[in-house]
Structure 1
């Protein structure tokens, strides 16, 4: 009897504690205004995001945490937001591994790739019911966000479509004799002529640089060579475009740029940090950055280091003309909710708040007294504003700019958003079933090996045919058979 009594007491205490946490009417203390937490016992939500690190930027992030908590408390939601540091290493690689193994266990987690296997293992929450019940998030979702969420509901990234936009220093571009012809007719030949002039005049050591891979180059040149989607039809069957004749011709062009010293011969070992450093310091004249916020950062840092802004350039024209095709099978990056989190509703409440009017101001304008000052009811941006970037939703949707004085985005950033819209192309792609993913991973590794060797001259361009044979043997043929059933 004594044991049963103890159990009964424990059950009663547990039930009461759950009622308190849920803001139940019968037992909630007077301090509860809304339905989550109390002033004395806010609900802890842990948050992990790339480049949002309390170790390196503790002061500002501490203020951000407090502002979010105060803003949500004013709406009756009491949270204790804790920003975590990511494990050391490449974020896209180490974070999914650390999450799977339990080394990290955040409630809200930003992924920059390698999330699909986690979703298939049931580790990520389906966000569909949260979106359906939302007010703020639903209001600022763009069409490509909605399409991506419909196809893959585990990752959300409320941002303009991720398009890599080529940019150059405005003063350098104006000095080039080839610049006018490029703008009038941006063919591959005219791009090559501009790169040659940059190199031959000694304007920069390298005409173009990138961050270890060729995706930033592909956004400029893919469509011109006929690489118009991830999956295309060739010889009557659906295949991945990287194994097509069009891609072979593109790689031959990149190899030419590398051989002639126009493409940074150190690009394979470049990280995004060293790529940007080469651009700001002038050893490379041309890079690509994501439309909107990233181009804005590039523009503002170039102004800080060289006193000049950037010019946005069009994609090369040829078989087609567009920047990289936009894939809506899933978001390539974004926020997920831990399926095993005990505070999933509260984690979503943070995302919902940051999509609302108060959250949009905080996320896009930064911190009062640092990035803006309040004057006569207006948000007056300070000189430190350009150093701020959104820690949740990069979109401009939902932000009331009528009371903002100053430049939220630079002319180059706005031009990049306009260019992304003008040269938009939808992608053709599918999410592969789990049993085919290892094959595709091996195929992608094979492509990186051959494409890098061909560009660097380690292999002749003719070895591309050998690559296609190995690609098909590694799974290309099997996946093509699958694609025929779904496309």
Structure 2
């Protein structure tokens, strides 16, 4: 991943254009006479996060050197329950200029509280050039949320020391049928990692089957959210495919392959079970998360990770990619007096110099520079990009070693290889309550079947209840809306 030395851009050239609204442009000129304060809400960036405080201070200092006098006031929201607290604040009329959403944004977009970002992107210098085709499709369908990252999915990983103890594991990996996957997970039980920890169960997840679905959904025929049945669309969770898949999950549970405590696991206890050696495999988001997992595993048991492929069957892949909207990302308040300035900050973070700060952290801490060469320190392993993370790294220095480990890069490759566009759509306000009810009904039924509280023979009764809870109306809307 060594990168050719990039000619250093003049930072001042970033601020090339006026704004996308006359009012915002007028407000932004106040930066010439004084400092404009942008209020930003971002999950995990609060008063207790010293790195965040330092990050925004550094960003402000860099911009001020270019004559852009901006400072950042980080809204002090808790990490736990961030979305709920953010929604309450916005509903109360206290709206930050820049807002990170991780759900809950659609209602505010409907109320006109979020700015259409397409005009800003069109006039941008850097953002439009680092967006992927997926980002572009999502911003056209839902122009209020921007999140420039590679296509990601939950991918399964296993410790290399344990995998190599499995008989014929190469053949299982090359031909990952559902049956072979089951064999591999079964054979992981009893194996030991580099520190002597013995595997107790093949795989664990955090509370639901969502991560398991990333491996097995497409193999069982659920290649999109809405699948064709006799010429009409039906929701995949009420299909025969789903019935067969839940039966398979129950078998994994009954055989002790699936962690029998998976329903009570949170993300941290899930990860700890893997680090401690109790679980033979877990799933993590492709890219940086897999990189963090490998660093942790290396520290604890001097081990490496291997990414397992998605199971193969009717189809293969880590699930279809939803193009209806970004599931998380940055928004700009339509009520902000400094909309143009807010987007200039986002555009700067897509520049080579902006990427240097956002992707690599602070010189002398996360990296050092010698001549034209940038060398990562041990602290770099725990750094993450707050904003944009295009796969192609364009900075004014040559990297001495890759930013991500080989296994993290391979996790990106696996997801991209099996990319399939989904036919999911944004649920209209009048159906959201019904949709939530049907989803909760499914989650409860799935958990009950897997743990043995209900028989899979009750699947038809579940489908009837699902339709009665609002599924009938949602399905009718899907058949009017989806155009393929």
**Alignment partner of 1:277 out of 266, 272, 281:** 272
Mapped to 2, the partners of 1:88 and 1:70 lie a distance apart of: 26
User: Does residue 64 of structure 1 match 2:58?
Assistant: no
Q: How does 1:41-440 map to 2 (within 5 A)?
A: 41-55=34-48, 57-58=49-50, 60-87=51-78, 89-102=80-93, 105-201=95-191, 203-397=198-392, 399-400=394-395, 403-440=398-435
Over 3 Å counting, the alpha-carbon distance change for 1:98 and 1:213 in structure 2 is: farther
> Is there any run of 5+ residues in structure 1 with no aligned partner, and where?
1-17, 24-35
The match for 1:37 is: 31
C-alpha contact 1:365 1:371 (8 A) present in aligned 2: yes
CA contact (8 A) 1:355 1:398 kept: no
SS at the partner of 1:335?
strand
Distance between the aligned counterparts of 1:265 and 1:105, measured in 2?
43
Separation (CA, whole Å) in 2 of partners of 1:342 and 1:440:
36
- The DSSP-based 3-state class of the residue aligned with 2:163 is helix
Q: 1:19 to 1:452 in 2, by over 3 A?
A: closer
Aligned-partner Cα distance in 1 for 2:311–2:177: 5
Q: Say yes or no: does 1:479 pair with 2:466.
A: no
Residues 22 and 332 of structure 1, relative CA distance in 2, 3 Å threshold: closer
CA deviation string 1:298-340 (max 9, x = no partner): 1112222222221111100001111111000111111111222
* Alpha-carbon distance change, 456 to 97 in structure 1, aligned in 2, over 3 angstroms: farther
Give the CA deviation at 1:20: 9.1
Decide whether the 8 Å contact of 2:253 with 2:450 is kept in 1: yes
Q: Distance in 1 between matches of 2:428 and 2:449?
A: 31
Instruction: Quote the Cα distance in structure 2 between the aligned partners of 1:292 and 1:393.
Output: 13
Following the alignment from structure 1 to structure 2, what is the Cα–Cα distance between the partners of residues 214 and 93?
A: 24
Cα distance, 1:435 vs structure 2: 1.1
Question: Which secondary structure state, in structure 2, belongs to the residue aligned with residue 438 of structure 1?
Answer: helix
- Secondary structure of 2:53's partner? helix
Q: Secondary structure at the match of 1:67?
A: helix
Residues 415 and 337 from structure 1, CA distance in 2 versus in 1: closer, same or farther, beyond 3 angstroms? same
Query: Equivalent residue of 2:114, what SS?
Result: coil
Q: Compare relative contact order (CA 8 Å, sep 6+) and give the higher one, 1 or 2.
A: 2
Q: Secondary structure at the match of 1:298?
A: helix
Contact 1:378 1:405 in 2 (8 A): yes
State whether residues 322 and 422 of structure 2, in contact with CA within 8 Å, keep that contact through their aligned partners in structure 1: yes
- The structural deviation recorded for 1:117 is 1.8
Q: Do the aligned partners of residues 418 and 19 (structure 1) sit closer, same or farther apart at CA in structure 2, a change above 3 Å counting? A: closer
Equivalent pairs counted in the alignment come to 454
Q: Distance in 1 between matches of 2:265 and 2:139?
A: 33
> Max radius of gyration: which structure?
1
Larger mean CA deviation between 345-354 and 200-209 belongs to 200-209
Secondary structure, counterpart of 1:322 in structure 2: coil
Residues 363 and 392 in structure 1, CA contact (< 8 A), matched pair in contact too: yes
Please state how far the C-alpha of 1:270 moved relative to its aligned partner. Answer: 1.5
CA RMSD, Structure 1 to Structure 2 (Å): 2.0
Using a 3 Å threshold, how does the CA distance of structure 1 residues 248 and 407 change in structure 2: closer, same or farther? same
Cα deviation per residue 1:441-463 (whole Å; 9 max; x = unaligned)?
11111111111111221111112
Q: 1:270 to 1:394 in 2, by over 3 A?
A: farther
CA offset digits 1:330-364 (Å, max 9, x no partner)? 11111111222232222212211111111111111
Tell me, yes or no, if the aligned pair for 1:223 and 1:320 is still in contact at 8 Å: yes
CA offset at residue 81 of structure 1? 1.5
Give the match for residue 4 of structure 1: none
Using the TM superposition, name which of 215-224 and 425-434 deviates more. 425-434
The 1-side partners of 2:178 and 2:296 are apart by: 29
Matched residue of 1:287: which SS? strand
| TM norm structure 2 | 0.89
Contact 1:207 1:262 in 2 (8 A): yes
Structure 2 residue matching 1:175: 3-state secondary structure: coil
TM-score, length basis structure 1: 0.89
Cα distance change on mapping 1:90 and 1:172 into 2, 3 Å: farther
| Structure 2 CA distance for aligned equivalents of residues 300 and 230 of structure 1 | 34
Q: Secondary structure at the match of 1:225?
A: coil
